[in-house]
Structure 1
Amino acid sequence: MARHRRRHKNHEESGSQGSSEEEKLKGRGRAGGAVSIVNAISTGFGAALGINLQTEAELETTDKPQIKLSINGEDADPSLAKAVIKVFSQALGVEVKGAEIRTYSNIPVAVGLKSSSSAAVAIANAFLDALGKKMAADELLRNVAEASILSGTSITGALDDAAACMLGGIVATDNHGRKILKHILVEEKLYAVIYVPPGKTYTASFRKELLTPIRNIAAAAFTLTLEGKHWEAMTINGLAHSAALGLPIEPAMNALRAGAYAAGLSGTGPAVAAIVAEERVDEVADAFSAYEGEIVKASVNRGRMVDICPC
């Protein structure tokens, strides 16, 4: 990504008052979307799959001591953006007085489709771009996880979600230990068909004790993921979390009947994601169309190979 610098000079010309010069930096970043394979809230171990929804971020530093954020042209709560700037400034040893950040995304918000993780990665990339800095993928993701907890947008740091948004493919992580345990590239061309019912789920008000009864099920699903049985893991995880949260399992079951490889609740919902071969996309979408809400289709982000330190 190209770095853009713009200089603003004081209107006073050099003379008895001298002259001052202040540099404003501009950067751009982007990240994909993701859906859950295993929810990490109950165990700290999670897995997610990258999909080709997207968030783009534009950042410009300012001389005002505030962080301003807009999402798709509307003013938004800057808590996550503030945390990202704070954590990355500390990591880089730099000071930034303020910034204006604009994000543009086609990811539905607060339904379990990782909009916050995608935004955090995109903003982090835009900040690095503005400063002309580079950061290893695992270090960047650990800092994003720290910012997510600091801002209250994640319970565990959502390293799995952020990694899937950034790297694509299937990512399995130890969220509490900030470790990427496995990154699997998806060989087959697949699609995510997602049912988004009415309603929102916000992390700040989520009662994580609701998931305590299915903790062992989530752990078993994570083991399946490490063994390469990620579609079985996704279905088991999704159905168990729907049951624990009192959400209907019928949409996922109907997607499976229509030929989906896997289907289940993403995150804490209410969105239900199904992974399907290209020839089954319409059938699974038809199965979801029986329910009130929106249907989102996106190709699976098959992933790119990067060097990750599992430590």
Structure 2
Amino acid sequence: MDGRASAPAAGTVLNALASGKGSAFAIDAETVAEVSLDDSGTVVGEVEGAPDADTTLVERCVELAVAEYADSEALDRLGVDDADAAGGRVRTESEVPMAAGLKSSSAAANATVLAALDALGVADSVPREDACRLGVRAARDAGVTITGAFDDASASMLGGVTVTDNTSDELLAREEVSWDVVVWTPPETAYSADADVERCKRIAPIAELVADLALDGRYADAMTVNGFAFCAALGFSADPMVSALPDAAGVSLSGTGPSFVAVGDRDALEAVEHRWNELEGTTWTTTTRNDGGRTR
């Protein structure tokens, strides 16, 4: 009982730390997960190229998927009496840098949930939003998210740009977008679970303004306002944003950093790419994705 799936990374329009509302957009950089189910009673995770990585999240994704969706036929095939006796292995491989603000955890969770559902033979019958919420539950159980990250997870799972209320896991809006994207990732890392939530909550009125802009379809404007506000709240320099303007249609600190993302027209973004290439770290170009997570 094997399954394989992938899910894309995402960039930030609105960080949900301040008000509970968030918005993100899928980008064309993937995490692939392979799941093999068995009767071992234990799920063991592995991250390609990172033998010391914490695999609690992906292991929990498999456990929840089996508990929620393994029917009697699937359990019979595994040779177990109940879901608690099931186990297996999950292996992820990713183009998405970890702890860089590009939703690597959401991509890994989504890919793993879909791969587990694929192994169970039910991937096509489970609504993508439900599969996404399962990964969010796993992220909360694993302690890798503060807000629940439904904004990031929904963008990764569904594709396009999404706006969510993370306090209720409600999808407020989704729209397909076609942007070119430039990403700059400095050498350092930043884990969202370590962010100063109380400091971020001080800018809640600005976050509500950003949410209004996003719900009005002004995503590029929204992400730029978000970027300046959260650079101040989280202690990042806004210099990369200033250097990207006015060539980028929108630019923001992505997540809780340290990456920055700029969107717009490919020709205009060449100037942004050139300037960001002069910074220490890695600059790369990609595009938005509208198809989200998928079995392979």
Tell me if both proteins adopt one fold, taking TM over 0.5 as the criterion: yes
Q: What TM-score do you get using the length of structure 1 for normalisation?
A: 0.85
2:219 aligned with 1:230, yes or no?
yes
Aligned match for 1:216, one of 205, 209, 233: 205
- Residue 50 of structure 2 corresponds to 74
Aligned match for 1:162, one of 141, 153, 159: 153
Matching residue's letter, 1:81: V
2:28 aligned with 1:52, yes or no?
yes
1:213-270 Cα deviation digits (max 9, x unpaired)? 211111110111001111110000011000111111010111113x100011000001
2:254 aligned with 1:262, yes or no?
no
Q: Where do residues 103-252 of structure 1 align in structure 2 (5 Å cutoff)?
A: 103-133=92-122, 134-186=125-177, 189-252=178-241
Q: Contact 1:57–1:126 (CA<8 Å) still a contact in 2? A: yes
Aligned match for 1:64, one of 11, 34, 40: 40
What stretches of structure 2 of length at least 5 have no aligned partner? 72-82
What stretches of structure 1 of length at least 5 have no aligned partner? 1-24, 305-311
More contact order relative to length (CA 8 Å, sep ≥ 6): 2
Q: What TM-score do you get using the length of structure 2 for normalisation?
A: 0.89
State the aligned residue count.
277
CA distance in 1, matches of 2:290, 2:135: 22
- Residue 13 of structure 2 corresponds to 37
Matching residue's letter, 2:269: V
The structure having more radius of gyration, on CA atoms, is 1
Deviates most, 226-235 or 196-205: 196-205
CA distance in 2, matches of 1:69, 1:274: 33
Change (3 A) 1:97 1:90: closer
CA distance in 1, matches of 2:280, 2:9: 23
Deviates most, 28-37 or 96-105: 96-105
2:101 aligned with 1:101, yes or no?
no
CA distance in 2, matches of 1:248, 1:93: 48
Among all aligned residue pairs of Structure 1 and Structure 2, give the percentage whose two residues are the same amino acid: 34
Alpha-carbon deviation of 1:207? 2.4
The CA RMSD over aligned residues, in Å, is: 1.5
Matching residue's letter, 1:270: P
CA distance in 2, matches of 1:56, 1:157: 21
- Residue 85 of structure 1 corresponds to 62
2:275 aligned with 1:287, yes or no?
yes
Matching residue's letter, 1:172: V
Q: Where do residues 10-21 of structure 1 align in structure 2 (5 Å cutoff)?
A: none
Deviates most, 87-96 or 212-221: 87-96
Alpha-carbon deviation of 1:82? 2.2
Q: Contact 1:67–1:78 (CA<8 Å) still a contact in 2? A: no
Alpha-carbon deviation of 1:303? 4.7
* Structure with the largest fraction of helix: 2
Secondary structure of 1:269's partner? Answer: coil
Secondary structure of 1:74's partner? Answer: coil
1:3-53 Cα deviation digits (max 9, x unpaired)? xxxxxxxxxxxxxxxxxxxxxx11001101100100011211100011111
Deviates most, 120-129 or 289-298: 289-298
Alpha-carbon deviation of 1:87? 2.2
- Residue 28 of structure 1 corresponds to 4
Secondary structure of 1:297's partner? Answer: strand
Matching residue's letter, 2:50: E
The runs of 4+ residues in structure 1 deviating greater than 4 Å are none
Alpha-carbon deviation of 1:204? 3.2
